[in-house]
């Protein structure tokens, strides 16, 4: 997987303040057809147009690329919820538009890449992989996100705590499968 880093990794000036602490990750589905590399220009336009308040995550992932937009220890605007933004790392899974450019099988390869990144981030911050550290956007904000994953893994079921936990348990199982994926070298790539 190719890892690309924005200029925020090279410069001392960051968009936001440091998070008081990192409690885990939030897995998002972007509901777009964009690849991770497409977010490079997309986010540059948001900066140019002074539109970052519309939202952004730490990292954008597809099966080939991981675009690290902003260092993970800094507050993001990914959940529409202050607590989540200041305590959780946003992982945006790309090309998740339902009936978009990817069929379900192809999207699940992007999803697997996001699980690897989640495993690395949780290991970096020495956090366990559980229901408190692996979160869904819809736990913090009224949204369908992660809509594509919800559709694939749960079908057309209503949003309730039981179904949220079912999807989280699937994510947790997949993230745990990458527990041995990390080494000192792989942890060095984490933004």
Q: What is the CATH number of the domain that holds 87?
A: 3.40.80.10
What confidence score (pLDDT) does residue 190 get?
A: 77
What confidence score (pLDDT) does residue 189 get?
A: 73
What confidence score (pLDDT) does residue 56 get?
A: 96
What confidence score (pLDDT) does residue 186 get?
A: 66
Q: How many distinct structural domains can be found in the chain?
A: 1
Residues in the chain, pLDDT under 50: none
Alpha-carbon gap, residue 39 to 9, rounded angstroms: 16
Q: What is the DSSP letter of 12?
A: S
What confidence score (pLDDT) does residue 183 get?
A: 60
Alpha-carbon gap, residue 20 to 12, rounded angstroms: 18
Print the domain residue range for 76.
2-188
- Write the pLDDT tens digit of every residue in 14-31: 999 999 999 999 999 999
């Amino acid at each position: 997987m190719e890892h690309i880093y924005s200029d925020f990794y090279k410069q001392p000036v960051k968009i936001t303040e440091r998070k008081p602490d990192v409690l885990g990750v939030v897995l998002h589905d972007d509901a777009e057809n964009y690849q991770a590399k497409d977010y490079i220009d997309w986010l540059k336009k948001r900066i140019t147009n002074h539109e970052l308040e519309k939202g952004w995550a730490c990292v954008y992932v597809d099966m080939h690329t991981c675009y690290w937009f902003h260092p993970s220890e800094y507050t993001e605007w990914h959940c529409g919820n202050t607590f989540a933004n200041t305590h959780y790392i946003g992982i945006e899974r790309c090309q998740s538009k339902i009936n978009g450019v990817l069929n379900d099988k192809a999207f699940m390869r992007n999803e697997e890449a996001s699980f690897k990144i989640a495993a690395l981030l949780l290991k970096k911050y020495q956090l366990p992989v559980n229901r408190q550290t692996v979160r869904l956007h819809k736990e913090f904000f009224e949204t369908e996100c992660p809509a594509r994953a919800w559709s694939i893994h749960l079908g057309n079921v209503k949003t309730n705590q039981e179904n949220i936990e079912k999807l989280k348990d699937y994510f947790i199982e997949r993230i745990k499968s990458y527990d041995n994926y990390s080494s000192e070298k792989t942890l060095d790539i984490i933004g």
